[in-house]
Structure 1
Amino acid sequence: MSFTLPKEVLVVEDEPFVRMVAADALTERGIMAWEAGDAGEALHVLAEHPNIGLVFTDVNMPGEMDGLGLAHEVNRLRPDVSLIVTSGAVSVADEELPDSGTFLSKPYPTRKLVQIVEEKLDGPFDDTVG
């Protein structure tokens, strides 16, 4: 029997409630969800947690780097990490994102977010993982 490390996702969103809802939806599916409020914090978390396999980020965030900049920086630093970019203010074509990027417009149903995350992290998760 082979053992695989838990799937880990970094949720980057400056609105605490939106970030919490997304992280909770992933956690309920057995996915470890780290959280960050801006790009700088996200890069710090990413550096500390090598098992993060996906970054889910909002486009519009405070600070020197927005979510698109973060997506490109994550792709440069960790090309193995999948990306999902979201926004309620702008629409981003997948072609504008790094190779593994997908755009999800706001508002999104959490089940759609979980579905995309699961697909990007290689398949559905076991409901019994706790």
Structure 2
Amino acid sequence: MTDCTARVRELNLYRQYFELVVTGTKTIEVQVKYPHLADLTACDTIRFRIKDIDETCDVEVLRVTEYPDFEALLYGEGPPHVNPTATRDQQLAKIRTIYGPEKEALGALAIEIKLSSHKEG
């Protein structure tokens, strides 16, 4: 039996992605491998928040996989898990407008998530 101590991390999301998480259709969150996320692990909780709004949504982290860049991440995870409403090329272009090349150079994290049984907001 695995015992893990869950930590809660707060991350901002754009509304369109927040809605995909809330409905359970987005199962992979894409993040840059920032130092504050380097120790993110299964069992942790992410509290997604729409910036400047009190609405939140908690998800359980099931897995964290590191990729060298966003293209490799989309290839490895499959675009429908990241955003089922956009094509692979649309997703890659959008991710790269959110995160510039200097951030992509830090590495990309695919965070497999599952909606927690309780929501806040």
State the TM-score, normalized to the length of structure 2. Answer: 0.29
Structure richer in helix, relative to its length:
1
Relative contact order (alpha carbons < 8 A, sep ≥ 6): 1 or 2 greater? 2
State the TM-score, normalized to the length of structure 1. Answer: 0.28
Structure richer in strand, relative to its length:
2
